[in-house]
Structure 1
Amino acid sequence: FIAIALSGLLMAGAHLRDVMRSAAFRAPDVDDSREPMPYRWAVVGYLLCLTFLVGWSLAAGMTLGAPLVFFLLFSLFSLSLTRIRVQAGLGAVHGPMTVQDLMMGVGGTQFLGAQNLTVMGHYFFMTGEMRGVMSVMPSHLEGYRLAETVRINPRKLVLGVMLGTTIGLALAHFAALRTIYDYGGNILNNWRVKDMPARPWKDLRLWLTNPRDVDWVGLQFVAAGGLITVLLTFLRLKFVWWPFHPVGYAAAYTGRTIHWFWFTLLLGCALKYMALKHGGPKTYRAFLPFFLGLILGDFFMGGLWGVFGLASSQPGYLFFP
């Protein structure tokens, strides 16, 4: 995942240099009028948010280096998920490990210390479920890409996103608390209400009672995965005919994602291959509305049975994800 993010940053090096020049010096030759916000606002906003999060963590008891590394790694994980979302179309991706797991493997229990481990446990809600906070950036970027396709002013869309996020958070908190207290969290969703909130504290107890050293074996596998990703990226850029994408390699071992999606992905790839092989690009484009209709139908049925469940107080269709 880290190699996916870093390779993307390297390939966008020229553009990122223009972004930094525009943010720092208001470079007149850099045009950001078609972006969701000026480059300076984006860079300053990221730095302010990073400063706030690091300051919050320091006030909670962490040492200076730990929260800085944590949130930089969190940014890289979010960037890699965004690239997987854009290039592979996977709506939900579970990474092979969390930021906490990676830092534990690199530093070990004694190096990080009990205070850092305790505060990082509170951040499990950000990293433990990649359909949550980490999916915000991929979803927003996808929305901006759709807005660009239909020629909606992205800067007006930013206001809509901010308003929708504010209203959505308020309604989600109210709906979640009301539903959990009315029906019982363990009945509705055992993972989100029982197992996930307890997971970081079970891990913390294990780390403190059974201290761990640096996981050299695990780091070797991390390094090997990074090198393979870099190699696939190089081959993908060097040879047009190269069939294997680094994003596919990264997504191949992403926990429940491939376990749930493997047949759908296999079926989609097979049908796409058959359409291109026997009918050519024209036939492939002719079939696109049909497959988009299948996706729309799944969303429609998920919403319909959700409304039915609310009206009848009966369990309805579990809409993935």
Structure 2
Amino acid sequence: MTINLINGLNFLFPYVPSLGGKLYDLGQVFTERPWSAIGWSPIAVFPFGVGLSFFIPLDLSFSCWVFWLIWRLERITGAMMGWKTLPRFPYEPEQSHGAYIGLCVFAIWMSRHHLKRVLMSCFKPEADLASHQNIPVNSYKIALSGLVFGGVFIIIFCLKMQMSLGIIFFFFAIWFSIGVAITRLRAELGSRVHDLHFIGPDEILPSLIGTRRIGASNLVSFSYLYVLNRAHRSHSMPHQLEGFKIAEIVRTSLVHLVILMSLASLLGVVASFVFFLTSSYKIGARVWFANESFRRLEGWLTTMPATDFPDIIFVSFGFVGTILLSLLRMRFLWWNLHPVGYAISGSWAINPMIGLFS
């Protein structure tokens, strides 16, 4: 309360010192080329974030700082070398995209033996794994059934949107891989930053395949599914996993929690539509999300861009780099650079928060 009052006085009377909460853009300090290429580089200190940062592992904080500086160094290097044929160098979203896919693949690979036992317990009653882990019997079978029925529903829903079957598979394979990576890093490291603006299958598939091969109907569907991919900071998977963990600690029924989550999801969908439409009619609609999605669609249908090879190269670089960083952390105790730091440091939200990792 006191901090907010002092910051309020600072807003009204600038000579009163602030106690954090302002963004100080370092990019304004560097005005000449090539140093001005660092772009928007804000430093801020939020009191609430300082407290939360004590719960983050030290190696993750260190890695975020290191990779945040490396991104700026890459921008300056691109300006010094005059790489005008790569206007978006160093392709931070693309590298981050590859990094998240790498985190997912590495997590699945490290869990392969457990996942194998889970599948065996679903099809072989004598190999029931749930009974040995103090969780309800048939939990894995129910989870697998939910995965199958949910996948079938998604396929039918998207087919009704005129998406092709192959595109549906690749679209949601990429989307769920991002979700798994976000859930893993939240569970393991408690990162507060995983917004991933403009990173998703709707961005990588047109770059990989080319819009002409994807087709107009799939591109239109991508625009309507933009709500899933504009940013991933409110992704449901980590919140659900944290709910399961809390339920496990307080010994609450997981079945009841799943039912409550399902009901809350249905209620949330209806309530969000009602409140958004109501507020739009009363105070005006916030249309920039729709503008972003359908102006992008207009560009796709007008220019029909082909395969973007630099995008593919930098996504692959991010994927391989994450796998290498993960292997180095496994092999060498002294290696402090965390692959999660590489993944999250290229996102928008790391900029206002980078001061909290110091």
Question: TM-score, with normalisation over the residues of structure 1?
Answer: 0.74
Please tell me whether residue 248 in structure 1 is matched to residue 341 in structure 2: yes
Superposed counterparts of 1:142-157, under 5 Å? 142-157=242-257
- List runs of 5+ in structure 2 lacking aligned partners: 1-99
Superposed counterparts of 1:105-116, under 5 Å? 105-116=207-218
Distance 2:108 2:256 in 1: 27
Superposed counterparts of 1:270-309, under 5 Å? none
Distance 2:145 2:129 in 1: 17
Amino acid in structure 2 at the alignment position of 1:230: I
CA contact (8 A) 1:35 1:155 kept: no
Q: Deviations over 1:114-149 (max 9, x none)?
A: 1111112111111113134xx111110111122223
Please tell me whether residue 52 in structure 1 is matched to residue 153 in structure 2: yes
Distance 1:23 1:181 in 2: 50
Distance 1:138 1:194 in 2: 28
Q: Which residue of 2 aligns with 1:87?
A: 188
Deviation at 1:212, TM superposition (A): 1.3
CA contact (8 A) 1:232 1:246 kept: yes
CA contact (8 A) 1:50 1:71 kept: no
Q: Which residue of 1 aligns with 2:6?
A: none
Secondary structure, counterpart of 2:215 in structure 1:
helix
Distance 2:267 2:159 in 1: 30
Q: Which residue of 1 aligns with 2:236?
A: 136
Deviation at 1:92, TM superposition (A): 4.7
Q: Deviations over 1:52-91 (max 9, x none)?
A: 2122222222222111111111111111111222233234
Please tell me whether residue 21 in structure 1 is matched to residue 120 in structure 2: yes
- List runs of 5+ in structure 1 lacking aligned partners: 186-192, 267-321
- Is the helix fraction higher in 1 or 2? 1
CA contact (8 A) 2:130 2:139 kept: no
Secondary structure, counterpart of 1:47 in structure 2:
helix
Identical positions, percent = 27
Q: Which residue of 1 aligns with 2:267?
A: 167
Distance 2:170 2:344 in 1: 24
Superposed counterparts of 1:171-250, under 5 Å? 171-185=271-285, 193-250=286-343
Q: Which residue of 1 aligns with 2:74?
A: none
Distance 1:11 1:21 in 2: 18
Instruction: Count the aligned residue pairs.
Output: 256
CA contact (8 A) 2:193 2:344 kept: no
Q: Which residue of 2 aligns with 1:62?
A: 163
Q: Deviations over 1:162-219 (max 9, x none)?
A: 233333333333332222222223xxxxxxx211122221111111111211111111
Distance 1:111 1:217 in 2: 18
Amino acid in structure 1 at the alignment position of 2:174: L
Deviating 4+ runs (over 6 angstroms): none
Cα RMSD after superposing both structures: 2.0
Distance 1:155 1:227 in 2: 39
Amino acid in structure 2 at the alignment position of 1:219: I
